[in-house]
Every structure is written in structure tokens, then in C-alpha cells.
Structure 1
Amino acid sequence: MRQSEPSRQVSSDARRPAPRWRRLRAVVLASAVLYLLGVVAVWLALPIAGDRWWPATLFLFGPRLVIALPLLAIVPAALLVQRRALVPAALASLIVAGPILGFAVSFRSLVGGAGRGDLRVASFNTGSRRTSMERLKAFVAKERPDVLALQECDLPELELTTAFPGWFVHVDRGMCLVSRHRILEAHSRDRRDVWDAGGHGAILRYAIALPDRVTAAAPSGAPEAPQPDAQVPPGTRAFSLVNLHLETPREAIEALMRGLWKQAAEHDRVIALRAWESELARQWVDEAPHPPIVVGDLNMPVDSAIYRRFWSDFENAFSRAGLGFGATKLTRWFGIRIDHVLAGPGWTTERAWIGPDLGSDHLPILADLRWTGAAPGDRR
């Protein structure tokens, strides 16, 4: 017997969701899409506005995880009433975890580099605290860096020389360098102009001799870098290492937390000071006579407008070959990566990682770099 037309209509109406459920599904889907658009907007705007506009600077150096809080409502709602909303929610999650929170992942970090590399560099801000020499020696014995750059270093030169016999040591007003390879030159920029402006501005540049047994590993077709310095010993090739500790944004952030827009002028003053210090540091890097490596506490993440202006043309070791969020500066609630190893022309990164807690509010950052050769004019 054929079903009557009224019966078919009643059956179809019974399968249709009630109007209130249709509205709820639409709201959940719209919320997920709007959240995705908001996350994309933050992602694109942060490198432009961070360290330029005070709300963006607060977010740049603050607990960025707050941007993920809407997912606590969107994802359960999508699972319950609108599965299609999971697609924009998943895309937003990837953007939050990667570009915004800074999770680094690369093929090299997953499979490992081709080896140790030609030079292992470590950088560590000791945090103005009394450094435990025993912990530092244990760290060096385990990680085996070729060059260890320290910022806010309170260790006397004699103590470092005694702790690392046979190494080359240089100490200058809170900036220390310990190197297995010979330090040919050490230049420290006069900081008085920066201090007069209320900044920090620790900028030191070294010429270090790298044995030919290391640089001979470069590809045979790679062009050779110029060696203008006659004091480079036979059988070695020099590179320049620049150790930095630049001005912190702390004063601006603390002022903004007290007065928000009322402290915008103080924010702009500190930002201008930090940009000036980066400009001075970059001049010293560009004047380096040998292929440069930059290490230290830059006091800025990679999505800072100041970083992108002065440092983005260098290869960031952790961004290139690290795995994870890579926080180097720790607070009670969150971490941020403001300490960096930057490889200039002639170098590439095989591996980068974060070291253990050595008693500071910073963690050391390490990188294995490989020499590839550099031609004149490669640097900016």
C-alpha cells in the first residue's frame, strides 16, 4: 500500500532538526569561522604591530596562550552539535600553536642533522645571579660546546680560566666568552652613549680561529670567504662572533600594566631605545671582517617588528632546526624565546635545542652550525 502524502510529510518533518537546534548549529559554525579569522588577523598583524603599538607589544611579550581560550568552548560545542565547525577550529589551533605560540618543527629537527656540525655554539644569560661554577662545568662537559657566550656574567676571568684549562677566555663588564678555539681579537663597543640614554647595549665582537680540519668539510664548489686579517694563523679560518645583550622591554611593559594607554609615550620611548640598540648592534655585525654568527639575549622574539627589521635576514638556528616552543626566558606562568643563535652567510644550522635549568630565569640555547662558505657581498 502506498504511503499517503500527509504521512510522508509528517515523517520528513520529524527528521528535520528543530529550529532552535538549527540556529545553535549555525552559531557554533559561525563562531568557529570568526575565531579562525581573528587568529589569522593576529598572526598577520603581530610582526607588524608588535614592538610598535602598545596593545600588540603587551601581547607580544605576554602569555599568548590566552588566545587559545575560545577553543575550550568551540571544540566541545562542535563535537556536540556541529562537526563541520571542527575544520576551522583545527586550522585555528595549528596557527595558534605554530606562528603565534612559536612551536618550531622542521625536517631537520625530526630526522636529525647530518652530524654534529662544524661548530657548536651555546649562549646563556646567567640572570644576574651568582653562577654555580660546578653546574656550568657539568653543562659544558655534557653538551660540549666549542664556544660558550654568557650574558650578565658575574664570573671573574681568573675563575673561568681555572675552571676551563686550555680554553680561551674573555670577560668584559658582565659579558663572558669561553672558547675551545683561539680568540684572535676582542672588541667591545663603548656603551656610554647607550647608558646615558638609559639603555643596556652590550655589544662585543670577536674574531675566532676555526681549524682547517673543520672548514675543509665545506662543499668543494662553495666560494671562499675573504680573509683580510693577516693575523689569522696558518691552518685556520677566522669567523666573527658577536655576543649581545640588548635593552629589555620590561620598563615599558610594567608602565603599560599600570596605566595602559596613559603610558603609551613611555612605551614608545623604550621601543625607540631598543630599536636604536639593534641598529648599533647590526652595524657592528655588518662591519665584521669574517663570516658572522650572532648570539645572546636580544630581548625580543622572532615576531617582533624590531627583530624583523634588523635580524630576519639571518638564519635563526632554533626556527630553522629546533623542535618545540623553545622558551629561553621563564616566568612563573609562561616562557618566551628571546635568546637566539643567528647564523650569517657562510653558515647553516644542523640542529638547535634548549639546555637545562642552570639556576637562572633564562635557559641556555645551543646550536650545531655547519660551514658552507661565503662569498664577498653576501652580507647586508
Structure 2
Amino acid sequence: MATWLYAAGLALLLGAMEWIGERNWLVATCLYVPAQAWLLPLLFLAPVSLAFQRRLLWWHLGCCVFVLFIYMDPEWSWRPPPRGPSLVLMTNNIGQNNRQSITEFLREQNPDIVLLQEARARGSRYQRSFPEYQMAEQAEFVMLSKFPIMNSQVVELPGQQRFPVAARFEIEWQGRRVAVYSVHLPTPRRELFRLRGAGLLIALAGIGQEKTAPGRFRREIAEAWANRIELARALLERLKNEPLPFLVAGDFNMPNHGFLYRMFSRELVDAFEKRGRGYGFTFPGYSLNPLTGFGPWLRIDYCFAGHGFTVTDCRTESGRRSQHRAVAARFEPDSRY
């Protein structure tokens, strides 16, 4: 009975995270938990089944396979050979890089465009380090480009707080203008930290008790998640109205499951999902969590293709102990545009 209840509960939880996601504060919180954690009950169920009902071990194995190889969605993509001119884009949030340089991955991938987030006032330093690139800087966003940068501006969106969440750059490539967006959506760290310890119990106690202190606490967290959705919608609407061929990359602070990811992936092509290999985790670059092999467990940094481009390759940096790992993708012009 315990195994059946566990399997049913696991299916409901994973389904809720995939299809409800950030629309519910509790489900949204679960999105940021390492997926391996949902297999921990098997540490207790498996020995009992081994002693009394061994056939249930097949169900345990099935749960492991489903979480590790279906829900966590490792990619095994075929990478086609180059067919013509291509553009390589690399993105990295360098805000808390733990003194770890991106130089090795940058030299390895040799990108045409580099987008850096949380790089306020550091553009000149990177241009001195990589003189083969032109540089443009808007707020926290820095672009390094091998092609002429024709224009750059902060993207103003309704609902954004003190800091912009995106910048738009325009380059000249292959005789035409191309728009490139660098994105840094707000982190949900504050909402997640507020639920630590007794915070989760307080929020749960506030369900249906709107006029009480726990109710107000729960409502504040729910409103923060709702505001994230509205801000993401505003950004996506801006991208949908972009008249030029365009690419989008950056730190979206959203896992590759849930409502927000499905919203973006319906309109844009996720380069890693299309042409990546492995899990592609980018955050946190290092951890003390043995469940995740002391490495990252979330994919929150992305390269997306908008209209005008197709994806031929995507690679995630490995090994660097920075907070975020870089992502590089190769794009080719779409013949339909």
C-alpha cells in the first residue's frame, strides 16, 4: 500500500510542477528542490519491500527511471553539420562567479556574441581582456560582439521594479540587422528563503485565513509569484512583437519545468532542448548537496531562438565552480525569413 501511495503522490507532484508551476506558490517552491529529493522515500520503502514483497522493487525502479530520465529530461540531440553562415551566442550571469573566469569556455566556444548579466560597470574590463570584440553596456547588461553594434537600449516593461530585466542590442550580421536580447528576470530567492524553517508551516497555516498574520504572510508570497508571471508575460509580449530576426539569452531564473518555461518555449525555441546533450544544469555551479553530486541541479540559463533563426548546436559549460555556468549555442538563419 505504501508503495502505491508513494507512486501516486509522486505522479501528482511531478504533474503539478509541470502544468501548474508558478501559478501556485507551494508548487512553485517545489520546482527549485532537486528532483532527486523526491526519490528519498525509496530509502525507507525499498528495504521493507525487499524483506516482504520483492516485486514492488520493480515499481521503485520505475519511479527512479521516470524521475531521472523522463522528468529531469536529459537531451540526446543530433547535431547537424554546418550548412552555411552561423552565429554563436554565449551567455553567463557573472554576478557571483566565485573568482572563476569564463575565459576557458569562451576561448573553447569562440562565440560571435557574448551576453553578460550582473556585469554593471565591468564592460570596459572585459573589452580590454577580449580586444577582438566590440562592447556595449546597458545597466547590468554587457554585450561583446565581433559584429558592429548598431544600437542598444534598456527594455522598459510594465511591472518591473527598480532594475530593468532585459536589454536589447542590435547588430549588423550578413548584411542585415539582428536583434539580440539579454535577459535577467528577478530571482525568487527571497520567497524561497522566507519559507525556510517555520516559514513553510506558517504559510500553510495561512491557507483560508486571510485576515490573520499567517494569511497575510502566505498572500505576500503568492502575490510575489503572481508578479513574476505578469513580468514574464510582459517580456514575452515584447519579444513576440520584435520586427527583426532575433535571439534571446540570459538568466531567466526559471527551471525548465512549470508554467513560465512552457510559456516561453511555446513562442521561442530552447536551444538546449533542441540541440543539447545531457541535463544541461547551470545553477548552482557548485553545492554541498550529495543528492546532486555536489553540482548544479537547475537549468535556469537559456539561449532561445526567435523568428529568423534555427538552432544547430548548444553546449553548457562544465566544471567551473561559479554560481552560474555559461551556455553557448550556434544558430543559422532560417530560410523562411
**TM-score, shorter chain, exceeding 0.5:** yes
Structure 2 equivalent of residue 300 of structure 1:
254
Structure 2 equivalent of residue 339 of structure 1:
301
Which of residues 128, 134, 137 in structure 2 aligns to 1:162?
128
Q: CA deviation at 1:271?
A: 1.0
Structure 1 equivalent of residue 81 of structure 2:
114
* Larger gyration radius, structure 1 or structure 2: 1
Structure 2 equivalent of residue 105 of structure 1:
75
Structure 2 equivalent of residue 245 of structure 1:
184
Q: CA deviation at 1:71?
A: 2.7
On the 8 A contact 1:106/1:320 being kept in 2, the answer is no
Q: CA deviation at 1:77?
A: 5.0
Describe the SS at the equivalent of 2:75: coil
Tell me, in whole angstroms, the C-alpha distance in 1 between the residues paired with 2:96 and 2:158.
20
The question of 1:366 aligning with 2:324 is answered no
Note the 1:275-314 alignment, pairs <5 A: 275-314=229-268
Structure 2 equivalent of residue 255 of structure 1:
194
Superposed CA RMSD: 2.7
Letter matched to residue 20 of structure 2:
A
Describe the SS at the equivalent of 2:95: coil
Structure 1: tracts of 5 or more residues without a match:
1-29, 212-235, 376-380
Letter matched to residue 184 of structure 1:
M
As a proportion of its length, which structure holds more helix? 1
Cα 1:265–1:56 change in 2 (3 A) is same
Q: CA deviation at 1:191?
A: 6.9
- Identity fraction in percent: 24
Q: CA deviation at 1:172?
A: 1.5
TM-score by length of 1: 0.73
Describe the SS at the equivalent of 1:299: coil
Tell me, in whole angstroms, the C-alpha distance in 2 between the residues paired with 1:358 and 1:192.
36
Structure 2: tracts of 5 or more residues without a match:
204-213
Aligned length: 313
Q: CA deviation at 1:60?
A: 0.7
TM-score by length of 2: 0.82
1:27-83 per-residue CA deviation (whole Å, 9 max, x = no partner) reads xxx444443322222222112332122221221112332211123344455556545
On the 8 A contact 1:204/1:243 being kept in 2, the answer is yes
Tell me, in whole angstroms, the C-alpha distance in 2 between the residues paired with 1:87 and 1:359.
37
Note the 1:161-240 alignment, pairs <5 A: 161-190=127-156, 194-196=160-162, 200-211=163-174, 236-240=175-179
Tell me, in whole angstroms, the C-alpha distance in 1 between the residues paired with 2:119 and 2:324.
12
On the 8 A contact 1:295/1:341 being kept in 2, the answer is yes
The question of 1:350 aligning with 2:312 is answered yes
Cα 1:161–1:36 change in 2 (3 A) is same
1:274-308 per-residue CA deviation (whole Å, 9 max, x = no partner) reads 12221222132123221221100111112121232
